[in-house]
Amino acid sequence: MGVEYRQTPEILRTEDQEQRRARLEEHRARLRDAFGPFRHTCQVATVHARSSEAIDACDHVFAASRTVYMTLGDIAEGATDVSAFHVALDHYWTAVHELGKAVRLEEP
Protein backbone atom coordinates (compact mmCIF):
# COMPACT_ATOMS: atom_id res chain seq x y z
CA MET A 1 0.00 0.00 0.00
CA GLY A 2 2.82 2.34 0.87
CA VAL A 3 4.26 2.06 -2.64
CA GLU A 4 1.00 3.33 -4.07
CA TYR A 5 0.67 6.04 -1.42
CA ARG A 6 4.05 7.44 -2.43
CA GLN A 7 2.63 8.12 -5.91
CA THR A 8 -0.40 9.99 -4.60
CA PRO A 9 1.08 13.49 -4.04
CA GLU A 10 1.93 13.82 -7.74
CA ILE A 11 -1.65 12.94 -8.64
CA LEU A 12 -3.01 15.42 -6.10
CA ARG A 13 -0.95 18.21 -7.68
CA THR A 14 -3.07 17.90 -10.84
CA GLU A 15 -4.77 21.28 -11.00
CA ASP A 16 -7.65 20.47 -13.32
CA GLN A 17 -10.37 19.04 -11.05
CA GLU A 18 -11.75 16.61 -13.66
CA GLN A 19 -8.29 15.32 -14.57
CA ARG A 20 -7.45 14.92 -10.89
CA ARG A 21 -10.70 13.05 -10.26
CA ALA A 22 -10.01 10.67 -13.15
CA ARG A 23 -6.41 10.09 -12.06
CA LEU A 24 -7.54 9.49 -8.47
CA GLU A 25 -10.12 6.95 -9.58
CA GLU A 26 -7.44 5.08 -11.56
CA HIS A 27 -5.16 5.30 -8.54
CA ARG A 28 -7.88 3.98 -6.24
CA ALA A 29 -8.36 1.03 -8.62
CA ARG A 30 -4.66 0.18 -8.21
CA LEU A 31 -5.08 0.51 -4.45
CA ARG A 32 -8.00 -1.94 -4.57
CA ASP A 33 -5.79 -4.39 -6.49
CA ALA A 34 -3.03 -4.04 -3.87
CA PHE A 35 -5.51 -4.35 -1.03
CA GLY A 36 -6.05 -8.12 -1.36
CA PRO A 37 -2.42 -9.07 -0.68
CA PHE A 38 -2.22 -6.30 1.94
CA ARG A 39 -5.29 -7.67 3.75
CA HIS A 40 -3.85 -11.18 3.61
CA THR A 41 -0.57 -9.96 5.11
CA CYS A 42 -2.45 -8.20 7.92
CA GLN A 43 -4.45 -11.36 8.62
CA VAL A 44 -1.31 -13.52 8.72
CA ALA A 45 0.41 -11.03 11.02
CA THR A 46 -2.58 -11.04 13.33
CA VAL A 47 -2.72 -14.85 13.46
CA HIS A 48 0.97 -15.09 14.28
CA ALA A 49 1.06 -12.23 16.76
CA ARG A 50 1.78 -13.22 20.34
CA SER A 51 0.68 -10.06 22.06
CA SER A 52 -2.41 -7.91 22.10
CA GLU A 53 -0.17 -4.93 21.29
CA ALA A 54 0.92 -6.51 17.99
CA ILE A 55 -2.65 -7.47 17.12
CA ASP A 56 -3.89 -3.96 17.89
CA ALA A 57 -1.03 -2.42 15.91
CA CYS A 58 -1.88 -4.56 12.88
CA ASP A 59 -5.54 -3.58 13.18
CA HIS A 60 -4.51 0.08 13.29
CA VAL A 61 -2.47 -0.24 10.09
CA PHE A 62 -5.43 -1.90 8.39
CA ALA A 63 -7.85 0.81 9.57
CA ALA A 64 -5.47 3.64 8.68
CA SER A 65 -5.11 2.27 5.17
CA ARG A 66 -8.87 2.24 4.75
CA THR A 67 -9.02 5.84 5.96
CA VAL A 68 -6.47 6.91 3.34
CA TYR A 69 -8.46 5.14 0.62
CA MET A 70 -11.74 6.72 1.69
CA THR A 71 -10.11 10.14 1.96
CA LEU A 72 -8.88 9.86 -1.62
CA GLY A 73 -12.45 9.12 -2.69
CA ASP A 74 -13.68 12.21 -0.87
CA ILE A 75 -10.96 14.31 -2.53
CA ALA A 76 -11.88 12.91 -5.95
CA GLU A 77 -15.49 13.92 -5.36
CA GLY A 78 -14.46 17.40 -4.20
CA ALA A 79 -15.95 16.77 -0.75
CA THR A 80 -12.70 17.35 1.13
CA ASP A 81 -9.46 19.26 0.72
CA VAL A 82 -6.23 17.66 -0.48
CA SER A 83 -4.67 18.35 2.92
CA ALA A 84 -6.86 15.60 4.38
CA PHE A 85 -4.77 13.06 2.45
CA HIS A 86 -1.60 14.19 4.19
CA VAL A 87 -3.25 13.92 7.60
CA ALA A 88 -4.57 10.42 6.83
CA LEU A 89 -1.23 9.35 5.39
CA ASP A 90 0.60 10.57 8.51
CA HIS A 91 -1.71 8.37 10.60
CA TYR A 92 -0.99 5.43 8.29
CA TRP A 93 2.80 5.79 8.56
CA THR A 94 2.53 6.23 12.34
CA ALA A 95 0.51 3.01 12.50
CA VAL A 96 3.11 1.20 10.36
CA HIS A 97 5.87 2.47 12.65
CA GLU A 98 3.97 1.30 15.75
CA LEU A 99 3.41 -2.11 14.18
CA GLY A 100 7.13 -2.41 13.55
CA LYS A 101 7.85 -1.59 17.19
CA ALA A 102 5.27 -4.09 18.42
CA VAL A 103 6.66 -6.86 16.22
CA ARG A 104 10.24 -6.19 17.34
CA LEU A 105 9.14 -6.49 20.97
CA GLU A 106 7.77 -9.97 20.20
CA GLU A 107 11.01 -11.36 18.81
CA PRO A 108 12.47 -14.07 21.06
Cα 70 to Cα 17, 46, 101: the distances in Å are: 18, 23, 26
| Cα 4 from Cα 6, distance rounded (Å) | 5
Q: Mean of the per-residue pLDDT values for the chain?
A: 90
Q: What is the pTM of this model?
A: 0.85
Residues 13-56: tens digit of each pLDDT: 999 999 999 999 999 999 988 888 888 787 887 778 888 888 89
Question: Half-sphere exposure of residue 56, counting CA atoms within 13 Å on the CB side?
Answer: 6
